[in-house]
Amino acid sequence: MLGHIVGLGKTRFGPTAKGLPTLAQEALMAALDDAALGPEDLGAVVVANFLGGPNEGRLHLASVVAGLMPGLHLPAWRVEAACASGGVAAHQALMALSFYDNVLVLGVERMSDVVGAELTRNIGMAGDVVLDQSQGLNFPASYALVAQRHMERHGTTARDLELVSLKSHENARLNPTAHFHHKKVTQADVDAGPVVAAPLRLFDCCPVSDGAAAVILSRAPRDARSVPVLGSAVATDVISLAQRSDHTSFPAARAAAERAYAQAGVAPGDVSLAEVHDCFTIAELVATEDLGLAEPGGAALLVRAGETAIGGRIPVNTGGGLKAGGHAIGATGVSQLCEAVVQLRGEAGARQVGEARIAVTHNVGGVGGTCAVHVLAAPGTQAAT
Amino acid sequence: MTGVRTCGECGREYRYDVELCTFCGVELGSREPARGSVLAVTRVDVPSIGHEDVPYWCALVQAEDDSMHIVKSDRAIETGERFALSGAPEEDLAVVGVLGTGIMGRGLVELLLARGHEVCWLSRSDEHAERARDRVLERLARTMDEDELAGAAARLAVGADPSFFGRCDLVIEAVVEEVGPKAEALARAEAHMRPDALLATNTSGLSLDELAAGLARRERFGALHFFNPATRMRLVETSRATATSDETAARLEHFARSLGKIPVAVAQRPAFVVNRVLMPLINEAVRALEEGAAPPADIDEAVRLGLNHPMGPLALADLIGLDIAASIMDNLAERTGDESYAPRPLLRRLVDEGKLGRKTGQGFFQHTPRPGGPG
């Protein structure tokens, strides 16, 4: 047992006038409340954030967060691993449990202050400045190339991508903190979406969200709602598609998944639900395969059969994923843990999957340059090893 | 385009400009593959800083040595296509002649050199040639480093002797927008060109059949109408004379695409499409000014904000040159028989007074002369 998630808190994802400190405080207080702990019970804080520097001129976020707990002088630091910042922060927090009893992981991001070409450039900083950015390979374009290769190799179709999108939007309708909770997305909306980077269209892309999410990790379980963390792994890979020979799978994701499963003593077949990094619809298919939940090229078959929907054999992104739940970048990896915990506790209400025993989260930075995978179990689960 | 560095001992590859293998500590060998084939391509429709002009294409290219490259292109490319990683033209039409040292001629030469072409540029005199060369290289120096600039300079021949057109695969005429001088320039160029070479005019809408009348190989002649500034504007109006062959039309269109342009084929109607729409707009703005609707700056402001044009019609007329605008309008009126196309009296008066717009410092607006120019 690596540790236990004893509390979680998450703001609504989506555009908001709330500033970064306000968002961070909202998630922080919710997590403390959920864990029935006070700020003075925390041993350390790991802050996850990607674009505070370029978007807001805001770095040194650990100290900003210290301002939300004046006088405590907690050890705190910021983690940046592009879109995988949250997952990597959780991994660090687990390691930090060798020093501290309770560690807060706080992911926060403001995206809506910067728009258009500037924001697209800033997000593109997750790619290599020479190999990718100089050639105009922004994020939609990167994943568009992945989609092209996946379609060519595995026969994946544009329709499969639409099904992923429609499923995620359905789930978001059941999640009050989802970016698109209030938006009913129909086939007509999907059809009307303009091309962003062929073959990806508007509804293949996640939105740009503000938001924060927090979990408190503890050495010992606190109560019957504490969720054990069985596996935690981070793996990296070369940053650009130009440095890889295979563009239909992310080796970092496969490596992280393999390590996390081994640590947890579980196999992909044991997984009840997965929260995966679907910044674009194609990414959900690649993730499903990289996690071993489908054979290479087999994810589309699961989607076509409805197996990844809530109530399906292996529900994926029950909270709407990044696609419809929102992508407040630094908060995303933490938000995935929140959704997994809510499901494992059986507290997911209308979007509750049947019997949730094992959940896996998968958080990717860039186009597979970093991947963090966590394996969580239902409260009360004893370690397999 | 980045090279690939490989360790001679362990075979590991690096894509940064590092010199040593992290594992073996030995110096890396480096290579720069020249071409490859396109594995996947995406058309990008969202702009980002540094990549504002959309659409463009991003290709994943597998080079001959199997290394992968992401390459941006401003022309449509297809999966499976052979692709030069250097950006040098793969095409025939590698050597291009240009006639005319006005703003369009200079813009064209700059564009062609930037795209890797060899250019033979005809000027009126040797003295003109030196000045024209300096101005173009000065422009290119803003975006090219020393090596690139030296390469561009080596690919540029400028002079008053048209015999170098014998080396050209294509010659583009961009002299003053009048039938007489254009027809004469075209015939003069053709006399020096190889029989298999193509000839194009940059006319903005004169009759191609009239321009072709004095040519011996009319099937190899067509129109490529670039827009100012030629390096930046994406549109090229392509058009064919009655005698233009299908092959010539197709090759000219392909050539425009290879320069990153988006060609639109238009019939040889007076003033093609853009000027057919633009000239009445300018003329109506002049009429509004004559009628006292508003001062020039306000007319321009209204059109800019109301029609979302980047520039008002009167400022644009000043940029084009009032004499050129008036001449296009006269040509339109004459060829269509519709006098409403003819320049408004105020426009004629300004031309008569020598107030031709930016190039003379005074048109509808006063212009402060740029330091060093016009040359």
The angle subtended at Cα A273 by Cα A271 and Cα A274, nearest 5°, is 100
Q: Over 90: is that where the pLDDT of B92 sits?
A: no
Burial of B189 (0-12, 13-18, 19+ CB in 10 A): buried
Is A194 an 8 Å CB contact of chain B?
yes
- Average pLDDT for B213-231: 95
Calpha distance B274→A128 (Å, rounded): 41
Quote the pLDDT of residue B76: 84
Among B46, B50, B72, whose Cβ lies nearest the Cβ of A140?
B46
Is A6 an 8 Å CB contact of chain B?
no
Residue of A nearest to B66 (CA): A245
Among A128, A135, A197, whose Cβ lies nearest the Cβ of B72?
A135
The angle subtended at Cα A150 by Cα A149 and Cα A154, nearest 5°, is 120
Contacts of B57 (CB under 8 A, 6+ apart): B41, B42, B43, B44, B72, B73, B74, B75, B76, B77
B-chain CB neighbours of A200 within 8 Å are 42
CB contact under 8 A, B43 and A196: no
The tens digit of pLDDT for each residue in B314-345 reads 999 999 999 999 999 999 999 999 999 999 99
Which has the closest alpha carbon to A287: A384, A172, A372, A213?
A: A372
How far does the CA of residue A146 sit from the closest CA of chain B (Å)? 8
Calpha distance B54→A195 (Å, rounded): 12
Contacts of B229 (CB under 8 A, 6+ apart): B107
Q: The tokens of A326 are what?
A: 């929102």
A-chain CB neighbours of B52 within 8 Å are 117
Quote the pLDDT of residue B89: 57
Calpha distance A82→A48 (Å, rounded): 9
In chain A, which stretches have pLDDT less than 70? 383-385
Quote the pLDDT of residue B3: 86
Residue of B nearest to A146 (CA): B40
Instruction: Find residues 14-43 of chain B whose CB sits inside 8 Å of chain A.
Output: 15-16, 39-43
Calpha distance B375→B360 (Å, rounded): 12
Contact predicate B245/B221, CB 8 Å: no
B-chain CB neighbours of A137 within 8 Å are 58, 70, 72
Cβ pairs bridging A and B (under 8 Å): 107
A-chain CB neighbours of B39 within 8 Å are 149, 247
Among A128, A148, A195, whose Cβ lies nearest the Cβ of B45?
A195
Virtual CA dihedral for A320, A207, A260, A107, nearest 10 degrees? -110
Q: Over 80: is that where the pLDDT of B372 sits?
A: no
| pLDDT band at B369; cut points 50, 70, 90 | low
A-chain CB neighbours of B40 within 8 Å are 145, 148-149, 152, 247
The tens digit of pLDDT for each residue in B112-142 reads 999 989 999 999 888 888 899 999 999 999 9
Contact predicate A197/A140, CB 8 Å: yes
Is A153 an 8 Å CB contact of chain B?
no
Question: What is the 8-class DSSP label of residue A203?
Answer: G
Q: The tokens of A154 are what?
A: 């595995």
| pLDDT band at B43; cut points 50, 70, 90 | very high
Calpha distance B60→B67 (Å, rounded): 10
Calpha distance B99→B122 (Å, rounded): 5
CB contact under 8 A, B42 and A145: yes
CB contact under 8 A, B56 and A117: no
Contact predicate B331/B325, CB 8 Å: no
Among B43, B48, B58, whose Cβ lies nearest the Cβ of A117?
B48
Quote the pLDDT of residue B93: 85
Contact predicate B175/B100, CB 8 Å: yes
Quote the pLDDT of residue B343: 98
Quote the pLDDT of residue B186: 97
Mean pLDDT across chain B:
92
Annotated catalytic residue, options B117, B190, B225, B283 = B225
- Average pLDDT for B203-214: 94
Annotated catalytic residue, options B67, B202, B239, B275 = B275
Quote the pLDDT of residue A225: 97
Phi then psi for A7, rounded to 5 degrees? -165, 150
CB contact under 8 A, B44 and A136: yes
* CA end-to-end distance (rounded Å), chain A: 9
How far does the CA of residue A156 sit from the closest CA of chain B (Å)? 15
A-chain CB neighbours of B46 within 8 Å are 120, 138, 140, 196-197
Calpha distance A299→A44 (Å, rounded): 39
Contacts of A247 (CB under 8 A, 6+ apart): A145, A146, A149, A150, A241, B39, B40, B60
Phi then psi for A305, rounded to 5 degrees? -85, 0
B-chain CB neighbours of A145 within 8 Å are 40-42, 58, 60, 70
The tens digit of pLDDT for each residue in B233-284 reads 999 999 999 999 999 999 999 999 889 899 999 999 999 999 999 999 999 9
The tens digit of pLDDT for each residue in B350-364 reads 999 999 999 899 999
CB contact under 8 A, B40 and A148: yes
Q: With helix as H, strand as E and coil as C, how does chain B read?
A: CCCEEECCCCCCEECCCCCECCCCCCECEEECCCEEEEEEEEEECCCECCECCCCEEEEEEEECCCCEEEEEECCCCCCCCEEECCCCCCCCCCEEEEECCCHHHHHHHHHHHHCCCEEEEECCCHHHHHHHHHHHHHHHCCCCCHHHHHHHHHCEEEECCHHHHHHCCEEEECCCCCHHHHHHHHHHHHHHCCCCCEEEECCCCCCHHHHHCCCCCHHHEEEEEECCCCCCCCEEEEEECCCCCHHHHHHHHHHHHHCCCEEEECCCCCCCCHHHHHHHHHHHHHHHHHCCCCCHHHHHHHHHHHHCCCCCHHHHHHHHCHHHHHHHHHHHHHHHCCHHHCCCHHHHHHHHCCCCEHHHCECCCECCCCCCCCC
Instruction: Find residues 226-285 of chain A whose CB sits inside 8 Å of chain B.
Output: 238, 240-245, 247
Q: The tokens of A196 are what?
A: 């962003």
- This model of the complex carries an ipTM of 0.89
| pLDDT band at B375; cut points 50, 70, 90 | very low
Contact predicate A47/A28, CB 8 Å: no
| pLDDT band at B373; cut points 50, 70, 90 | very low
Among B13, B39, B46, whose Cβ lies nearest the Cβ of A196?
B46
Q: Three-state SS for A119?
A: helix
Contact predicate B196/B165, CB 8 Å: no
